[in-house]
Amino acid sequence: MDRILIRELVVLGILGAYESEREQPREIVIDLDLFMDLRPAGQSDDLADCLNYDEVITLISEHVATLNRFTVEALATDITELVLSFPRVQKVRVVVQKPGAVDGCRSVGVEIERSRPVTA
């Protein structure tokens, strides 16, 4: 399946279980692979056949900036649900990282993958 790649989306948000992590927004880095059929857009060269990347990025950025989550896993799950709300996206892989969260590591994070439910 074809993929749209969004790399190193940096958003300020509250993410963490410790009080010190919840005092002020910190950088959260997000990578996305959006799986969908890109043939219609490739054949037509028409924006109407494309996924609006800006709309996806804006939705995710606003969500991360306003919703305070305790776990990286919960935030990554939120993001997969947001992305799968776009009808053309069949599957999404999300990586959410917290730079500087653990001493000695550049960042820590999770990667999850979710697919649109198969309808009978």
pLDDT, tens only, 14-72: 999 888 889 999 999 999 999 999 999 999 999 998 999 999 999 999 999 998 899 99
The band of 120, judged by pLDDT with boundaries at 50, 70 and 90, is low
120 located within any domain:
no
Q: Which of 36, 72, 92, 98 is catalytic?
A: 98
Range of the domain at 27: 3-115
pTM surpassing 0.85? yes
66 located within any domain:
yes
Kind and range of the H or E element at 31? Answer: strand 26-35
Instruction: Provide mean pLDDT across the span 1-6.
Output: 96
Burial of 24 per CB tally in 10 Å (0-12, 13-18, 19+): exposed
* CATH number, domain containing residue 8: 3.30.1130.10
Count the helix, strand and coil residues of the chain and give each as a percent rounded to the nearest 5. 35, 35, 30
Token pair recorded at residue 11: 């958003």
Tell me if residue 91 is catalytic. no
What's at 81, amino acid-wise? E
The total of structural domains in the chain comes to 1
In angstroms, the CA 72 to CA 90 distance is 23
Interval 83-114: pLDDT, tens: 999 999 999 999 999 998 888 899 999 999 99
